[in-house]
Structure 1
Amino acid sequence: MPYTGKVVVDGPADVHELTDLMISKVAVGPMENNAYLLRCRATGEQLLIDAAADADTLLGLIGEDGIATVVTTHRHADHWQALDAVVRATGARTHAGRHDAEGIPVPTEVLLDDGDTVTVGRVPLTVRHLRGHTPGSVALVYDDPHGHPHVFTGDSLFPGGVGNTRGDAEAFATLLHDVETRLFGELPDETWVYPGHGADTTLGAERPHLPEWRERGW
């Protein structure tokens, strides 16, 4: 079946099969977080984005091949509840944004800055630092040489708006600026967006609404 990005807690993974990369998306409770397993087709190496919860579900998805890397998109607790268990079971190296690492109780081995590269096998992912939802939130961009880009946005960008800034006008302005300049300003409309919760979207579907988001302030 074609990939839709629609998953539910305790339901099966949805798999997006690209030429060089396989992306498996699952939803885990209790806050219906999305976790993404990336697998390099050439080497079989795997990377997990957000060990959010339900370690058994995530380890079942990972399988016997294990993971080399786990990236935590930001410091909020619903994105790292299973991180300790997953790291203990797999020995994966932990990555997180430099300015959020102190808020993640599992030690971060690799501190990420804007423009850094994280690799899964032969596949490079570019780090984009998106301030506002948290000080050190990061997104990962895969610029597929065989198609359009793909971006994993954590809680910084969703269908219908940017992440929650809890009524902080300055934080909202900062997040909207970073999302506009580092994602919308550099990537095409075809870019597929994989958020930290809920359904996927594309930059093209969201781009016309940027003025509306700015006007409403959230």
Structure 2
Amino acid sequence: MAYDGNVTVGGAPAVRELTGLTLTKVAVGPMDNNAYLLTCRDTGDQVLIDAANDASTLLGLLDEAPLARVVTTHRHGDHWQALAAVVERTGAVTAAHVDDVAGIEVPTAQPLREGDRVEVGTCTLEVIHLVGHTPGSITLLYDEPGGRPHIFTGDSLFPGGVGNTHGSKKDFTSLINDVEHKLFDRLPDETWVYPGHGADTTLGAERPHLGEWRARGW
């Protein structure tokens, strides 16, 4: 079945073969969070993005293969409820942006900053810091060789808008500016967006609406 990014809690994962990586997307409850397992096709090394909840489901994706690292996109609890259990079982290194580590109850072994690289075997993810949803929210960019860019945006960018800034004009302005300048101004329309909840999208599908998002203020 062709990958469309649509997953449901309790349903089957969606698997996508990229150049260099196999991407597995799964949804976990109770807040319909997405988690993404990236597996290097050369080495078998694996990285999990957001151990959101339901450790047994996430561990079941590994197929007994080692898990090198878990990257948490931001400090909100619904994105790391299974982190302790996954790390205890696998010994994976924990990683998150330095500005959010204090809000994650599991210690962060690898504090991340803008421009850092996260290795997945022979593949590389670039850390992009987007301030607004939380102080240390990150997007991870995989620039697929010979293909399109892929970005894992946590709760900073969704189909239809940027992440929730809880009524703060300052945080919204920061987030929309970072999303526009660091993602839309840099990356092409075919860039595939994998958010922290719900369906995937592309930058091309969302780009025409940036002005609307600014005008409405959320």
Aligned to 2:124: 124
Once residues 178 and 58 of structure 2 are traced to their aligned partners in structure 1, the CA distance between those partners, rounded to angstroms, is 30
What residue identity is the alignment partner of 1:177?
Answer: N
Deviation sequence 1:37-75 (CA, Å, 0-9, x none): 000000000000000000000000122002101000000
Show the counterpart of 1:97: 97
Amino acid at match of 2:72: T
Residue pair 2:51, 2:79 contacting (<8 A) in 1 also: yes
Q: Contact 2:19–2:145 (CA<8 Å) still a contact in 1?
A: no
Q: How does 1:112-191 map to 2 (within 5 A)?
A: 112-191=112-191
Q: 1:153 and 1:22 mapped to 2: Cα distance?
A: 18
Listed as ranges, the gaps of 5+ residues in structure 1 are: none
2:216 aligned residue: 216
Aligned to 1:67: 67
Query: 1:40-55, aligned counterparts within 5 Å?
Result: 40-55=40-55
Residue 8 in structure 1 maps to residue 8 in structure 2: yes
Which residue identity does 2:52 align to in structure 1?
A: A
> 1:7-60 deviations in whole A, cap 9, x for unaligned?
000101000111211100000000000000000000000000000000000000
SS of corresponding position for 1:62: coil
Deviation at 1:185, TM superposition (A): 1.1
- Displacement of 1:204: 0.3
Instruction: Report the TM-score, using the length of structure 1 for normalisation.
Output: 0.99
- What letter corresponds to residue 175 of structure 2 in structure 1? L
Q: How far, CA to CA, are the matches of 2:162 and 2:16 in structure 1?
A: 24
Q: Per-residue CA shift, 1:79-134, capped at 9, x if unaligned?
A: 00000000000000000011000100000001111111001000010000000000
Question: Identical aligned pairs, as a percentage?
Answer: 67
Paired amino acid for 2:196: G
Look up the match of 1:196: 196
Distance 1:62 1:112 in 2: 24
Q: In angstroms, what is the RMSD of aligned CA positions?
A: 0.5
User: Structure 1 residue 145: deviation in Å?
Assistant: 1.1
Amino acid at match of 1:208: P
* 4+ runs deviating over 3 angstroms: none
Deviations along 1:159-217, one digit per CA (max 9) or x if unpaired, are: 00000001101100000000011111111000000000000000000000000000000
Question: What corresponds to 1:36 in structure 2?
Answer: 36
**2:107 maps to 1:107:** yes
- Report the TM-score, using the length of structure 2 for normalisation: 0.99
